[in-house]
A and B are shown apart, each in its own frame.
Chain A
């Protein structure tokens, strides 16, 4: 049976703006399936984004959506969640939006452990603005601003999120389509800050510069580099060279921010 995506899409919005083969569409479908699995109600859900190709995603889905300033999605989402803690709040955005200009908001949302689900589409580049390097561009890779190869070391977004205090951290890729919805659903069910990084392809601004002949080559690379965290436990450092771990990388219970804040309110009111 074909999955009925239309029930969650704003009418008349397709075809979307993303380039042929851009993985953002694959992630959007996974997100929709996850929200369907978890039974999220349209009126009780807010999806927030900043700026970028990835950040265009909320414009297509029929929920409460907020398209905000570049890098500031986590801050706007924090405001929504604190004003209406009963709402399900999601953030969607790219690597540039999330951990370059928005890095500060990202780490502090993780630190607070506020109950939201952040889907970060990491395509290693600023896609929308023509391919400037991001903190996730691999060392040596070409971007419009690194024509001789990128000298900067990269962020490991999952480690950054764990170090900053997120209590659910997972990773998958645009190739692993069914894992996208499973991990987002697990993140939605988790109480606290859930980060789901999806390694993605940008054939237009990254692939062409970095000798990928086609979208299919980019998809195959995502397949090859991914190692499930359980399988990695039995592999040597040599075997893990150049690989990325996928699955739920970290999960813990810690007090959630809105609940903690209710106690502040109660104390201030003299209860």
Chain B
């Protein structure tokens, strides 16, 4: 299996930090007002971030 790719569309992200909070493996961190993917290799494809992002800004491929 190829490793998952977690993408944040920066122009959609409003920095609510929901993905940072609800990712069980701490893939994200806040970088100022935006969320940033910092540990993509930790992603288990649970899809919590994509499901909960109110802004259509997170995609897990």
Is A154 among interface residues, defined by CB-CB distance under 8 A? Answer: no
Is B54 among interface residues, defined by CB-CB distance under 8 A? Answer: yes
> Looking across the interface, which residue of chain B has its beta carbon closest to that of A3?
B50
Stretch in contact with the other chain, from A24-32, A64-72, A75-83, A100-108:
A24-32
Contact B61 A1 (CB under 8 A): yes
Contact of A14 among B17, B21, B56, B59 (CB under 8 A): B56
Whole-angstrom CA separation of A18 from B53 in the bound complex: 12
Is B55 among interface residues, defined by CB-CB distance under 8 A? Answer: yes
Is A146 among interface residues, defined by CB-CB distance under 8 A? Answer: no
Residues of B within 8 A of A29 (CB): 51, 54, 56
Contact B51 A5 (CB under 8 A): no
Instruction: Count B interface residues, CB 8 Å.
Output: 20
Per-position binary interface string of chain B over residues 11-37, scored 1 when its CB falls under 8 Å from any chain A CB and 0 otherwise: 110111110011000000000000000
How many interface residues does chain A have, given as a range? 20 to 34
Residues of B within 8 A of A144 (CB): none
User: In the complex, which residues 133-190 of chain A have their Cβ closer than 8 Å to any Cβ of chain B?
Assistant: 177-178
Whole-angstrom CA separation of A171 from B16 in the bound complex: 25
Contact A2 B60 (CB under 8 A): yes
Is B52 among interface residues, defined by CB-CB distance under 8 A? Answer: yes
Closest chain-B Cβ to A108's Cβ sits at a distance in Å of: 32
Contact A177 B52 (CB under 8 A): yes
User: In the complex, which residues 1-30 of chain A have their Cβ closer than 8 Å to any Cβ of chain B?
Assistant: 1-3, 5, 9, 14-16, 18-26, 29
Binding site for A on B (CB under 8 A): 11-12, 14-18, 21-22, 50-57, 59-61
Closest chain-A Cβ to B4's Cβ sits at a distance in Å of: 10
> Looking across the interface, which residue of chain A has its beta carbon closest to that of B52?
A177
> Looking across the interface, which residue of chain A has its beta carbon closest to that of B33?
A20
Contact A26 B54 (CB under 8 A): yes
Apart from A2-B60, A26-B52, 15 more pairs, CB < 8 Å: A1-B61, A2-B59, A14-B12, A14-B56, A15-B11, A16-B55, A18-B54, A18-B55, A22-B54, A23-B54, A29-B56, A177-B52, A178-B51, A216-B18, A219-B18
> Looking across the interface, which residue of chain A has its beta carbon closest to that of B21?
A216
Whole-angstrom CA separation of A267 from B55 in the bound complex: 51
Is A35 among interface residues, defined by CB-CB distance under 8 A? Answer: no
> Looking across the interface, which residue of chain B has its beta carbon closest to that of A33?
B51
Contact B51 A215 (CB under 8 A): no
Is A210 among interface residues, defined by CB-CB distance under 8 A? Answer: no
Per-position binary interface string of chain A over residues 207-219, scored 1 when its CB falls under 8 Å from any chain B CB and 0 otherwise: 0000000111001
Contact B54 A25 (CB under 8 A): yes
Closest chain-B Cβ to A6's Cβ sits at a distance in Å of: 8
Whole-angstrom CA separation of A206 from B16 in the bound complex: 16
Residues of A within 8 A of B61 (CB): 1-2
Contact of A214 among B17, B56, B57 (CB under 8 A): B17
Contact B54 A24 (CB under 8 A): yes
> Looking across the interface, which residue of chain B has its beta carbon closest to that of A22?
B54
Residues of A within 8 A of B53 (CB): 25-26
Closest chain-B Cβ to A202's Cβ sits at a distance in Å of: 12
